[in-house]
Chains A and B, each alone.
Chain A
Amino acid sequence: MATADSSAFHVRGLTKIYGHGDAAVCALRGIDLDVPRGELVVLLGPSGSGKSTLLNVLGGLDSPTSGQVFFDDRELTAFGDHDLTAYRREHVGFVFQFYNLIPSLTARENVMLVTDIADNPLSPEQALEMVGLGRRLDHFPAQLSGGEQQRVAIARAIAKQPNVLLCDEPTGALDIATGIIVLEAILEANRALKTTTILITHNASIAAIADRVLSMADGRIADIRVNRERLEPSRLSW
């Protein structure tokens, strides 16, 4: 069991309520969690269980109603907008279900968006090479397939060598074969850069590639499972 000191994230009593009065929706209900550094964590759970809210809070995109989140002993929950922007800029890589690439920039330039403002980045070519797109550097998003677009997004997320890589349904919009390629890219980044990676999915079979699997339900962590053995993505099927 990892100690709090070796945790990337240290979460206590995290609660998030959207709306007021009758319309209030409780997305997170007092979560306590430690995410060990360098692990690949899969967050499982049905829609509305609070996965994305948790991820957004960890990524500095959203702030909780109460509770505390520490990242490397720094309290994220005490940050203002400026510090959160800096936190995202320096430490966090995001991958989304719908890629969110900039259509007017090529694959290389999309990655450069991040490397231009990061302290110790990979070169865009290196990052794209890692996700297997070394030959498609100068293609615009419109000229890439869905899987390729998602891999550009991963390259963009890992190029700054982030401490944390947060992926929200990265394979949600992809077929199996493409999904596996994308997962391999994420796993490669996790291993090569020792990036703490949190991956949200609906798809329970993907959990097999994780170090640790958190199952969420109704705003709480219902179950934590540690995989003795991690499966290679190529051996997955769904």
Chain B
Amino acid sequence: MFQFLHPMDRKLLRDLWHMKGQAFAIAIVIACGVGMYVMSSGMLLSLQETRHAYYERYRFADVIAPAKRVPEALLETIQGLPGVRRAESRVRVGAVLDIAGAEAPVTGVLISLPEKRRAIINDIVLRSGRYFDPRHPDEILLLESFARAHGLRNGDHLHAILNGTRKRLTIIGTVLSPEYVYAIGPGEIVPDDRRFGVAWMNRRALAEAYDLHHAFNEALILHSPGGRQQSLIETLDRLLKPYGSPGAYGRDQQVSDQFLSNEIQQLKVMGRLLPPIFLLVAAFLLNMVISRIIDTEREQIGLLKAFGYEPGYVGRHYLKLVLLITFFGILLGMVLGLWLGRGLAVLYMEYFKFPFLIFRAPAEVFFVATTFSLAIAALGTASAVLRVMRLDPAIAMAPPPPPDYSRSTRWIESMAIWMDQPTRMILRHIYRWPQKSALTTLGIAMSMGLLIASSFSLDSVRYMIDVSFNVIERQDVSVHFVEPRNARALHDLRHAPGVMQAEPYRAVRATLRHGTIRRREAIVGLPPAASLSRLVDTRLQPVQIPGQGLVLSDKLAELLQVRVGDLVHVEVTEGRRPVGDLPVSAIVQTYLGTSAYMDLAALNRLMREEAVISGAYLRVDSDQRANLYRALKNTPVVAGIGLQEEAQQAFNQTLQEILGTFTLFNTLFAALIAIGVVYNSARISLSERGRELASLRVLGLSRGEVSYILLGELTLLTLLALPLGALLGHLLARWMVHSFDTELFRIPLIINPATYGYAALVVILAAVASGLLVRRRVDQLDLIAVLKTRE
């Protein structure tokens, strides 16, 4: 075999075969880095491309302009605005849905579609069934995931309260829509297919129900290429102000798209952060192994040079070895990445309702992965290879003198009298090669750090849920009305079945302005001593809402660049549209979204209205829930209902599925790194000290005693690596938390002791596994051969 190869290349292949275990361990670490990069970059590109193609093909609106009631004739004016390529009108309303078999009422949205099918803005993807028959005004198309969650089929019926009237609707088909890629109910953070439904209805029928003949309440706009979106939005706001517009907004403010962007951002961070760490560890392993090979082959290197091989040739020989291992790792990583990417695409399809999502990693992803890995590998081994090139043949062929252990530190020596010889050997060896020991420790610590960094998010998100659901939002049910109501509505709710406590709130849409920064937000008015929906400071202590001024969430304050005491210009975009400057009176901690709060009475004064509320938070007797739900289903003024328990369940489920899967993968990866580092260190120690260990065996030390010397050192280094790994993990986690900070989410930096423990356990198990693998080799030490050869 290999007859056609140069003898040096044959040597290369045989060397590689000889060190296959170590080479494989290194290749695996490279594969993890490459795999993770291919997966996250491929997924990132696939998501971006799919989103782009989907939005393009189904004409997802660039600008959305909601209002209360706009005469249809105004559409022509909008169409004529500069920068508008195409404008369409529609009716979009919130409604409570009543599904047979579902105990609790469901928050829903009804959207109008033209009576006859045509290509429109925000078009639908018909997945099953048919389009409307104009003769049957009760027909609806249902969001596919919602229909599936409730087991609803075409031909089934559901009830909805349309503008105060309960109506029976017939499902004739299921659809997907670019505006509900991430189908999430108002005020929710994770999609719950059962609790939020979207239905599309014949425009004429829906307009009739809501008294919107020859009128619309939402304009959708595609702008012309190069059009300035901000000035268009301002023009639209001026135009629609008399018609009750809360303000137009761009696609980037649309909820579904925001969540999608958030996910894309997270993939970006992952793809940027984790793969380089894996590759750095791989480079370090390569350096360790190659240096060792060069040490054992000193004599051969000297001989080759004495024969007249040029230093460059000899250097290249070892570089080839590195590149072969690296290439193998890259190849393995690509396969791994594609496999993981496909799996991830399936998982994403569960949460992001795309009509198609094909995982595709384009050539440039492979190119970047290959180039970067090769460069890192070459960089990692450069010093070792240069050492080969500089080795003087005469010196190389002479046996190296025994390593000098005489310069030991005093503290080791002062301790030495307490120790037996093997323990002394361990400590002196570590001290003699501090760099090598430090690198091994660092390598192990890195694997532990990665483990912590990739599993802490579960702790953080659990904490976030706990704070959000148990400290801040403590209600069982939230109810919001179609229109703001007077105090009488609260009285009614207090007397609804099972309600033990009810606290009102008022939400008004407003534009907040500070300097040139503008944000569309809702200002929520809460009673002074609210206990069901509270505000808390950074130490989670309840904050009393001040009688005047605005209370901002930390993220909103950051976005507006304001501090306590600064004035914020507030333009309310509903009711009498009051305008004024309000001082920031406090800043509170929130993890989800951006919010502004005011004292309920102060907000109503600002609105120049009496005691008006938008809804209420309820604490409910759990035995009476069914009765309450039944009552709410039949209350025409209710537009939506939030159930805390269900929301928390949905959150937990999403968490388990998405984060759980990621954590499992990352744990596997990190464990592989730990094994790679520990196994390689142990193997190298074994080959460096095989002679020493064999001598000890000859002198009559047992296998266990000899293993103690070898594995004792690794144990010590692993133990040293644990606190360092915890620190690295903490730093990495902090960096990730910082990178994941978006308008939608802020993940607090919470790492449970159990997570540190878990990471340490995985590292220790990996170390034990590697130790056992090497221990087997100690048992097989060839005493005679080792003693016969010169070092």
- Contact B421 A113, beta carbon cutoff 8 Å: yes
- Contact A140 B787, beta carbon cutoff 8 Å: no
- Contact A142 B401, beta carbon cutoff 8 Å: yes
Which chain A residues numbered 93 to 152 have a C-beta less than 8 Å away from chain B?
94, 96, 98, 100-105, 109, 112-114, 116-117, 139-143, 149
Stretch from A6-14, A37-45, A65-73, A81-89 contacting the other chain: A81-89
Which chain A residues numbered 178 to 197 have a C-beta less than 8 Å away from chain B?
none
CB distance from A178 to the nearest CB of B (A): 16
Question: If A100-B787, A104-B432, A113-B421 touch, does A88 touch B699 (CB 8 Å cutoff)?
Answer: yes
> Which residue of chain A has its CB nearest to the CB of B693?
A102
- Contact A102 B404, beta carbon cutoff 8 Å: no
Q: Which residues of A contact B293 (CB under 8 A)?
A: none
> Which residue of chain B has its CB nearest to the CB of A110?
B421
> Which residue of chain A has its CB nearest to the CB of B430?
A104
- Contact A114 B700, beta carbon cutoff 8 Å: yes
- Contact A117 B701, beta carbon cutoff 8 Å: yes
- Contact A113 B699, beta carbon cutoff 8 Å: yes
- Contact A104 B424, beta carbon cutoff 8 Å: yes
Q: Which residues of B contact A96 (CB under 8 A)?
A: 787
Q: Which residues of B contact A62 (CB under 8 A)?
A: 784
Q: Of the candidates A94, A116, A117, A143, which one forms a contact with B404 in the assembled complex, judged by CB atoms under 8 Å apart?
A: A143
Summed over the interface, the residue pairs from A and B with CB atoms below 8 Å come to a total of 90
A61 within 8 A of B: yes
- Contact B784 A109, beta carbon cutoff 8 Å: no
- 1/0 per residue, CB under 8 A from A, across B402-433: the answer is 11111000000000000011001100110010
> Which residue of chain A has its CB nearest to the CB of B702?
A85
Q: Which residues of A contact B56 (CB under 8 A)?
A: none
> Which residue of chain B has its CB nearest to the CB of A98?
B790
- Contact A61 B701, beta carbon cutoff 8 Å: no
> Which residue of chain A has its CB nearest to the CB of B779?
A81
Question: How long is the Cα–Cα vector from A96 to B783 in the complex, in angstroms?
Answer: 12
B633 within 8 A of A: no
Question: If A52-B788, A98-B791, A109-B421 touch, does A103 touch B700 (CB 8 Å cutoff)?
Answer: no
- 1/0 per residue, CB under 8 A from A, across B382-410: the answer is 00000000000000000001111110000
A212 within 8 A of B: no
- Contact A100 B424, beta carbon cutoff 8 Å: no
Q: Of the candidates A59, A90, A142, A149, which one forms a contact with B405 in the assembled complex, judged by CB atoms under 8 Å apart?
A: A142
Q: Of the candidates A61, A90, A140, which one forms a contact with B698 in the assembled complex, judged by CB atoms under 8 Å apart?
A: A61
The bracket for how many chain B residues form the interface is: 20 to 34
Q: Which residues of A contact B702 (CB under 8 A)?
A: 82, 85
- Contact A140 B425, beta carbon cutoff 8 Å: no
User: Which of A92, A103, A140 has the most chain B CB atoms closer than 10 A to its own CB?
Assistant: A103
> Which residue of chain B has its CB nearest to the CB of A86?
B700
- 1/0 per residue, CB under 8 A from A, across B694-718: the answer is 1111111111000000000000000
- Contact A142 B425, beta carbon cutoff 8 Å: no
User: Which of B401, B432, B691, B784 has the most chain A CB atoms closer than 10 A to its own CB?
Assistant: B784
Q: Of the candidates A86, A141, A156, which one forms a contact with B699 in the assembled complex, judged by CB atoms under 8 Å apart?
A: A156
Question: How long is the Cα–Cα vector from A114 to B401 in the complex, in angstroms?
Answer: 24
Q: Of the candidates B421, B428, B694, B784, which one forms a contact with A116 in the assembled complex, judged by CB atoms under 8 Å apart?
A: B421
Interface residue total, chain A, C-beta cutoff 8 A: 35
Q: Which residues of B contact A113 (CB under 8 A)?
A: 421, 696, 699, 701
CB distance from A71 to the nearest CB of B (A): 15
- Contact A142 B784, beta carbon cutoff 8 Å: no
CB distance from B545 to the nearest CB of A (A): 70
CB distance from B429 to the nearest CB of A (A): 5
User: Which of A61, A82, A102, A142 has the most chain B CB atoms closer than 10 A to its own CB?
Assistant: A102
Question: How long is the Cα–Cα vector from A89 to B699 in the complex, in angstroms?
Answer: 6
Question: How long is the Cα–Cα vector from A114 to B703 in the complex, in angstroms?
Answer: 15
Question: If A100-B787, A104-B429, A116-B421 touch, does A140 touch B404 (CB 8 Å cutoff)?
Answer: yes
Question: How long is the Cα–Cα vector from A94 to B701 in the complex, in angstroms?
Answer: 13
Question: How long is the Cα–Cα vector from A92 to B700 in the complex, in angstroms?
Answer: 9
Question: If A86-B700, A140-B405, A143-B406 touch, does A105 touch B421 (CB 8 Å cutoff)?
Answer: yes
Question: How long is the Cα–Cα vector from A129 to B432 in the complex, in angstroms?
Answer: 29
B466 within 8 A of A: no
> Which residue of chain B has its CB nearest to the CB of A162?
B700
Question: How long is the Cα–Cα vector from A141 to B698 in the complex, in angstroms?
Answer: 19
CB distance from B387 to the nearest CB of A (A): 21
- Contact B405 A100, beta carbon cutoff 8 Å: no
- Contact B406 A102, beta carbon cutoff 8 Å: no
B208 within 8 A of A: no
- Contact B784 A61, beta carbon cutoff 8 Å: yes
Q: Which residues of B contact A143 (CB under 8 A)?
A: 404, 406
- Contact A88 B700, beta carbon cutoff 8 Å: yes
Q: Which residues of B contact A86 (CB under 8 A)?
A: 700
Q: Of the candidates B405, B432, B697, B787, which one forms a contact with A85 in the assembled complex, judged by CB atoms under 8 Å apart?
A: B697
- Contact A117 B700, beta carbon cutoff 8 Å: yes
> Which residue of chain B has its CB nearest to the CB of A103?
B402
Q: Of the candidates A90, A102, A142, A168, which one forms a contact with B695 in the assembled complex, judged by CB atoms under 8 Å apart?
A: A102
Question: How long is the Cα–Cα vector from A156 to B699 in the complex, in angstroms?
Answer: 9
Q: Of the candidates B402, B695, B700, B784, which one forms a contact with A89 in the assembled complex, judged by CB atoms under 8 Å apart?
A: B700
- Contact A103 B787, beta carbon cutoff 8 Å: no
CB distance from B704 to the nearest CB of A (A): 10
Q: Which residues of B contact A103 (CB under 8 A)?
A: 402-405, 692
Question: How long is the Cα–Cα vector from A62 to B782 in the complex, in angstroms?
Answer: 10
- Contact A109 B424, beta carbon cutoff 8 Å: yes
- Contact B425 A88, beta carbon cutoff 8 Å: no
Q: Which residues of B contact A105 (CB under 8 A)?
A: 405, 421, 424-425, 428
- Contact A56 B700, beta carbon cutoff 8 Å: no
Question: How long is the Cα–Cα vector from A117 to B422 in the complex, in angstroms?
Answer: 12
Question: How long is the Cα–Cα vector from A59 to B703 in the complex, in angstroms?
Answer: 17
CB distance from A84 to the nearest CB of B (A): 10
Q: Of the candidates B691, B700, B784, which one forms a contact with A100 in the assembled complex, judged by CB atoms under 8 Å apart?
A: B691
Question: How long is the Cα–Cα vector from A103 to B403 in the complex, in angstroms?
Answer: 6
Question: How long is the Cα–Cα vector from A104 to B713 in the complex, in angstroms?
Answer: 13
CB distance from B574 to the nearest CB of A (A): 81
Q: Of the candidates B692, B703, B784, B788, which one forms a contact with A102 in the assembled complex, judged by CB atoms under 8 Å apart?
A: B692
- Contact B405 A114, beta carbon cutoff 8 Å: no
CB distance from A78 to the nearest CB of B (A): 19
Q: Which residues of A contact B791 (CB under 8 A)?
A: 98
Q: Which residues of A contact B405 (CB under 8 A)?
A: 103-105, 140-142
Question: How long is the Cα–Cα vector from A149 to B475 in the complex, in angstroms?
Answer: 82
- Contact A139 B406, beta carbon cutoff 8 Å: yes
Q: Which residues of B contact A104 (CB under 8 A)?
A: 403, 405, 424-425, 428-429, 432
Which chain B residues numbered 759 to 791 have a C-beta less than 8 Å away from chain A?
783-784, 787-788, 790-791
Question: How long is the Cα–Cα vector from A164 to B790 in the complex, in angstroms?
Answer: 25
Q: Which residues of B contact A156 (CB under 8 A)?
A: 699
Question: How long is the Cα–Cα vector from A56 to B783 in the complex, in angstroms?
Answer: 10
Q: Which residues of B contact A142 (CB under 8 A)?
A: 401-406
CB distance from B689 to the nearest CB of A (A): 9
Q: Which residues of A contact B790 (CB under 8 A)?
A: 98
- Contact A101 B402, beta carbon cutoff 8 Å: yes
Q: Which residues of A contact B697 (CB under 8 A)?
A: 85
Q: Which residues of A contact B403 (CB under 8 A)?
A: 103-104, 142
Question: How long is the Cα–Cα vector from A114 to B420 in the complex, in angstroms?
Answer: 11
CB distance from B522 to the nearest CB of A (A): 71
Q: Of the candidates B406, B421, B783, which one forms a contact with A112 in the assembled complex, judged by CB atoms under 8 Å apart?
A: B421
Which chain B residues numbered 194 to 219 have a C-beta less than 8 Å away from chain A?
none
Question: How long is the Cα–Cα vector from A88 to B697 in the complex, in angstroms?
Answer: 9
Question: How long is the Cα–Cα vector from A70 to B791 in the complex, in angstroms?
Answer: 34
Known pairs A104-B403, A113-B701. 15 more at Cβ < 8 A?
A56-B784, A61-B784, A94-B698, A94-B699, A100-B691, A102-B696, A105-B405, A105-B421, A105-B428, A116-B420, A139-B406, A140-B404, A142-B403, A149-B402, A156-B699
> Top 10 A-B pairs ranked by shortest CB distance?
A89-B700, A142-B404, A104-B428, A100-B695, A103-B402, A88-B700, A140-B406, A141-B402, A104-B405, A140-B405
Binding site for A on B (CB under 8 A): 401-406, 420-421, 424-425, 428-429, 432, 691-692, 694-703, 783-784, 787-788, 790-791
A-B contact pairs, 9 of them (CB 8 A): A88-B698, A90-B700, A98-B790, A102-B695, A104-B424, A113-B701, A117-B700, A117-B701, A142-B405
